[in-house]
Amino acid sequence: MLALSALFSAENIASSQLARENAEKARKAAAESEDRAATTCVRVKYRAKSKKSVAGADDVMNKYGVVILEPSAKAEKEGEATSRKQKKVDNECEGSENSLLLPVELLQAMREESDKIEKVICSRLGELNIETSVSRRLKRMVLNETAQTSNFKFQEVSSRCLGRLDVRYGMDSYPFSDPRILENSPWLPLVHKLLGNDAVLKYMGLIYSYPGSIDQPFHGDGPHLFGNSFQAPMHAVNVFIPLSDISKDLGPTEFVLGSHILENAKIVQSALQLNGTVPKNIGKNSSDDENGTDSNVNTLISPLLKFGSVLLYDYRTIHRGVTNSSLNECRHMFYMLYSKPWFNESVNFGEVSLFSDDAKELAEELTTKEIDSSCGDKRTSTECNEKTDSGSKKSKKVRLAKFEDENSAGYCDLNNM
């Protein structure tokens, strides 16, 4: 009898475990399909060989400020024909399966190199005693606005709010220097179409978002030019290539469609200031109003990009990285910043090299200094905080380095390297 009831309860446990797993699978599938629906409007089947055959990706970029490029054998064959059809595709928000624009072995090499670069940067940050763990205590302090911490900018690495590093180091050798990335990349014809043939690659880098990273404030990577006086043509474009599949847990980047348009950016900024949320849509009612996103299209998207897929966005498009809620997986993202040749990008990194002696001095200052809350000077940033309004800035002097906390997560966790 005892044996039988033990068997029944073991069965019960197993079936409730199965039910939980199924429910979790269903939840994930629903989230992914919701995401696909919301992002299909910016997905373009693409295999450009020249500026002429960018398959309408430039139209999507001009309209939404974001585009996701998906390989298409058809686009390659039909070239211009696909381009003419693009308007229709755009209206129908047609979806498609994702696969790779770059060879998988190149992408894998990029991922391996990204792991190595992370170790170099993290061990140097460790040597300098710069806070490198997202401990619960530290996180609580940041979220409670009692402290602004882990905010640093060197030549090679900047923090982008707690738990997120932006690294531009190790980019001048293979695989990042491979001609398939630099000279013959599939997105280059599109970049030329958007910025002109004299567009330059400003720099490339890697963004690491660690478990426990906090939501960034919504921001554009730089200001609208000419003091917001008119809508200037696109002057810089960022290319994102994730080096892991991005699930909801890993914290996909959120983009506000159409927010590269000055008028829309103002609407978004005031909504953020007023109630901390992005308006559901900022479109005028007519989809042929060139400043509006379609009124039936959600303004805020968070594409669950696959490993190696390619997303471009206008430098001015409002976006943010969100929290990585996974237990122990760091999200790796490779990026390339292109711009018009005259554009000077100087806001996002510091002048002192992480590997110089001056870095020690700077790190010492960091550990005691009152730190501003600009999250690495991204222009439209408000605070390193889950709230997106401008809120109060009660930063106070704190020691950044070495919070002892058994709950610290794996942000630059040197013990695990």
Within positions 187 to 246, which residues make up the interface with ligand AKG, using CB under 6 A? 207, 209, 216
The least distance separating ligand AKG from the CB of residue 221, rounded to whole angstroms, comes to 6
The least distance separating ligand AKG from the CB of residue 253, rounded to whole angstroms, comes to 3
The least distance separating ligand AKG from the CB of residue 79, rounded to whole angstroms, comes to 33
Are 166 and 152 within 8 A, CB to CB? no
Would you give the DSSP letter of residue 153? B
Q: Where are the alpha helices (DSSP H) in 196-308?
A: 262-275
Residue 206 to residue 142: CA distance in whole angstroms: 24
Are 343 and 236 within 8 A, CB to CB? yes
- Work out whether 258 is an interface residue with ligand AKG (CB under 6 A): no
- Work out whether 378 is an interface residue with ligand AKG (CB under 6 A): yes
152 contacts: CB under 8 Å, gap ≥ 6: 130, 158, 159, 350, 362, 363, 366
Is the CB of 207 or the CB of 384 nearer to ligand AKG? 207
Contact pick of 47, 153, 164, 168 for ligand AKG (by CB under 6 A):
164
Contact pick of 58, 70, 118, 166 for ligand AKG (by CB under 6 A):
166
Which residue stretch of 159-167, 300-308, 339-347, 397-405 sits at the interface with ligand AKG (rule: CB under 6 A)? 159-167
- How many residues line the site for ligand AKG (CB under 6 A)? 11
Q: What angle in degrees, to the nearest 10, is found between the helix axes of 80-92 and 57-64?
A: 40
In 3D space, the residue among 235, 219, 203 whose CA is nearest the CA of residue 343 turns out to be: 235
Contact pick of 253, 373, 380, 395 for ligand AKG (by CB under 6 A):
253
Cβ neighbours around 227 below 10 Å, total = 7
The least distance separating ligand AKG from the CB of residue 171, rounded to whole angstroms, comes to 16
Q: Which residues pair with 317 in a beta bridge?
A: none
257 contacts: CB under 8 Å, gap ≥ 6: 41, 42, 64, 65, 66, 282, 293, 297, 298, 299, 300, 301
Is the CB of 113 or the CB of 166 nearer to ligand AKG? 166
Residue showing the smallest CB distance to ligand AKG in the complex? 321
Which residue stretch of 122-130, 160-168, 259-267, 404-412 sits at the interface with ligand AKG (rule: CB under 6 A)? 160-168
Per-residue x/- track, 286-325, ligand AKG (CB under 6 A): ---------------------------------xxx----
Half-sphere exposure of 363 (CA within 13 A, CB side): 20
Are 304 and 253 within 8 A, CB to CB? no
Is the CB of 153 or the CB of 378 nearer to ligand AKG? 378
- Work out whether 332 is an interface residue with ligand AKG (CB under 6 A): no
List of residues contacting ligand AKG (CB under 6 A): 160, 164, 166, 207, 209, 216, 253, 319-321, 378
